[in-house]
Amino acid sequence: MIYLQLFLSFLQVGAFSFGGGYAAMPLIREQVITAHSWLSMEEFTDLITISQMTPGPIAINSATFVGLKIAGIGGALAATAGCILPSCILVTLLAWIYLKYRKLSLLQGILKSLRPAVVAMIAASGLTILISALWEEGSPMRLAAMKADTAVIFLAALYLLRVKKLDAVLVMVISGVLEILLSAVVNFL
């Protein structure tokens, strides 16, 4: 039964996550935290971090991780299959339609109208992750309750990515080193 639940849950994620990995995060969160309580919000944030660090799409990495955690290898296979099945079917169908009707203005209008919704989904996911990273779950969102070390690392990473234009992998390594150094300083004091 759990294999079917995993398959159907990630089938929904795969079927309705237009716009890529970041747009899928609210759907993944809904399934794994709200609908089934398979993960806590902190575990979900860790899941997104792990999914970012490993090769492949976020939704598929998330499906594999959650499936493995909940039901072992069989769960990972069921969740991953559910996640990729809609894409396989949809991409094949859309490629055929697009190749046949790509000059049609109605199709171009539909694609243009989907962009703002995808941006909104990505922004909502980013804010959710930012809030869960900077504040403990259940704590008030006040400046005094913010995790100062995480905020420093976030601002440093943002600066390195946006201003210095460093590679994302390098910024992740630097962030990890910063976390180790800040933890050592806090433990020393």
Q: What is the pLDDT of residues 118-136, one digit of tens each?
A: 889 889 988 988 998 899 8
d(CA 82, CA 3) in angstroms, rounded, equals 10
Please report, for the chain, the start and end positions of each structural domain, with discontinuous segments joined by +: 2-141, 147-189
To the question of pTM greater than 0.75 for the whole model, the response is no
Instruction: Annotate 38-54 with DSSP letters as a single string.
Output: -S-HHHHHHHHHHHHHS
Confidence tier at 50 by pLDDT (50, 70, 90): confident
Closest CA to 63 of 77, 49, 53: 77
pLDDT at 52 over 90: no
The two tokens of residue 183 are: 């933890």
pLDDT at position 67: 96
Positive or negative, the Cα torsion across 93, 96, 99, 100?
Answer: negative
d(CA 74, CA 77) in angstroms, rounded, equals 5
pLDDT at 188 over 90: no
pLDDT at 156 over 90: yes
pLDDT tens for 13-42 read 988 887 667 778 889 999 999 999 999 988
What average pLDDT does the structure give for the chain? 90
pLDDT at 107 over 90: no
